[in-house]
Amino acid sequence: MESVGLVPVLCVSVVLFVTGVAGVLTRKNALIVFMSVELMLNAVNLSFVAFARQNGEADGMIYAVFVMAVAAAEAAVGLAMVILLFRNRVTVKLDDLDIMKG
């Protein structure tokens, strides 16, 4: 079977990343925004692995594992934060987060 080259994989990664960035910037629901951040991190993983294969080194793949570990820690804190937000405000809409203005 012929293996996929660097460019198609990178394209998928860029599409994933841009989707994530667009999600963070436009969506109003805290959970969706959080999911979009995870999407960005997955795009990063994909590009790390693709570059690692291209360079013929293992470092990039190890970095992907690093990123996953950190993303897991972030997910734990982030979801706790969403629950805390809901308990305090009974909403997860980002538009409602406007107590502090100036």
Partner 1 sequence: MPTFNDLWLASPALLLFFGAMAIMLGEAIVRPASKTGFWALALGTLAGSAALTVVIFLGPSADAFGGMLRVDQFGLFAQLVCTLAALLTVLFSDDYLRALNLRVGEYYSLVLFGVCGMGLMCLANDLMMVFVALEVMSISMYVLCALKRGDPRSVEAGFKYFILGAFSSGLMLYGISFLYGATGTTSLPGIGGFFMGQHQGTQATLVAIGGALLIVGFGFKVASVPFHMWAPDVYQGAPISVTSLMSAGVKAASFAAFARFVYGVIGTHSAGFVGVLWWMAAATMVVGNLGALAQRDLKRMLAYSSIAHAGYLLMALVAASTGNASNNPALASLLFYLLAYTFMNAGAFIVLAAFTRDGQDYTDIDSLAGLGKRHPWLAAGLSLCLLSMAGIPPTMGFVGKFYLFSAAIQSGQVPLAMIGALSAAAGVYYYLRPMVWMYMKEGHTEARVAPVAFTALAICGFALLAFGLVPGPMLGLAQTSLQSLIPYTIPTH
Dihedral sign, CA of 56, 57, 58, 61? negative
Applying CB under 8 A, among 28, 29, 47, 61 the residue interacting with partner 1 is 47
All residues at 6 or more sequence positions from 26 whose CB lies less than 8 Å from its CB, including other chains: none
Beta strands in the chain (DSSP E): none
Residue 34 CB neighbours (<10 A): 20
Is residue 72 near partner 1 by the rule CB under 8 A? Answer: no
By the rule CB under 8 A, 12 interacts with partner 1:
no
Handedness of CA 73, 76, 79, 82 (dihedral sign): negative
21 touches 13 (CB < 8 A): no
- Check residue 97 for interaction with partner 1 (CB under 8 A): yes
Nearer to partner 1, 2 or 20 (CB): 20
73 binds partner 1 (CB under 8 A): yes
Shortest reach from residue 1's CB to partner 1, in Å: 24
Q: What one-character DSSP code corresponds to residue 3?
A: P
Residues lying near partner 1 in the complex (CB under 8 A) are found at 17, 20-21, 24, 30, 33-34, 37, 40-41, 43-44, 47-48, 50-51, 54-55, 57, 59-60, 63, 66-67, 70, 73-74, 77-78, 81-82, 84-85, 88-89, 97, 99-100, 102
